[in-house]
Copies of this chain bind each other. A is one copy, B any other.
């Protein structure tokens, strides 16, 4: 049996009881280690907690070495651990399909992921549009396809969850070119850097999918003991020091219900200003709310 087990967001004890029982009976335990990290538990702590040695699985192992992971899993129990949920931000459908095609039974043990726990900022998950990813810009790679997606969301009033890049076990271009297996220290995008990139692209595009005054929510260390939320405009958050990783950002949509706003106001020292910012952003997008044409198929 292959168990795909979500670990949740932060603590070793965020695993479900059912998940823990599964892990403890497995003969091999892999931990997916390139899309997220468990904030409040080290590999050693997890190993002690599970009573099992953990094999770290980097992108290469998962994408091209899955035979190793699945080896003999039709006869023994193997666990593949994923921070958050196995089908959260990064889906592991490929591994599941490979297992199925090798007649290996698969059991998924779900858990919280940022995709649903982000609701704890007070914005309703119902009102979120598509999720986007913000990657670290480099001198010559500044991808901005997320811009149109934020715009699409905001045109129909929806909030946008922005997932911030993390770089674990990445090589520098020089080391990669020279074939040297030397890895850079891990990097986690900060709220301020994300907001700076948002502002840069908006300035270049100039089509006002959002403005520097658009309200957003900085979500930091979600689900951990030092979890924090901070609301402000994108401009304000571009100067905000949110502390240790991990971070996510939510850009508000045009629809912000009174109940949502009331909850967000817990996360600012200046309730009046933020209320005005939200109202102004909503006004800004009026009368723009997108009205569906009457004949979509013939458009």
Q: Could you say how many copies of this chain the assembly holds? A: 2
Q: Indicate if A17 sits at the interface (CB-CB under 8 A).
A: yes
Q: Indicate if A268 sits at the interface (CB-CB under 8 A).
A: no
Instruction: List residues of chain B with CB within 8 A of the CB of A89.
Output: 125-126
- A287 and B299: CB pair below 8 A? yes
Instruction: List residues of chain B with CB within 8 A of the CB of A112.
Output: 6, 85, 110-113, 116
Chain A: interface residue total (CB-CB under 8 A): 71
- B100 and A110: CB pair below 8 A? no
A17-B16, A263-B97, A299-B287 known; A85 and B119 CB under 8 Å? Answer: yes
Instruction: List residues of chain B with CB within 8 A of the CB of A148.
Output: 292
Q: How far is the CA of A96 from the CA of B264 in the complex (A)?
A: 12
Q: Indicate if A189 sits at the interface (CB-CB under 8 A).
A: no
Q: Indicate if A88 sits at the interface (CB-CB under 8 A).
A: yes
Among A13, A16, A96, max chain B CB count under 10 A is at A16
- B20 and A11: CB pair below 8 A? no
A89-B126, A266-B100 known; A297 and B288 CB under 8 Å? Answer: yes
The chain B residue with its CB closest to the CB of A263 is: B93
Instruction: List residues of chain B with CB within 8 A of the CB of A288.
Output: 296-299
- A292 and B223: CB pair below 8 A? no
The chain B residue with its CB closest to the CB of A259 is: B93
Contact of A296 among B130, B208, B259, B260 (CB under 8 A): B208
- B117 and A85: CB pair below 8 A? yes
The chain B residue with its CB closest to the CB of A211 is: B297
- A152 and B117: CB pair below 8 A? no
Instruction: List residues of chain B with CB within 8 A of the CB of A9.
Output: 110
Q: Kindly list 20 other residue pairs between chains A and B, CB separation below 8 angstroms, not including A14-B110, A88-B119, A110-B223.
A: A16-B16, A16-B17, A17-B17, A17-B20, A85-B116, A85-B117, A87-B117, A87-B125, A91-B125, A93-B263, A94-B259, A108-B223, A110-B112, A113-B116, A126-B132, A207-B295, A208-B296, A209-B296, A284-B297, A288-B298
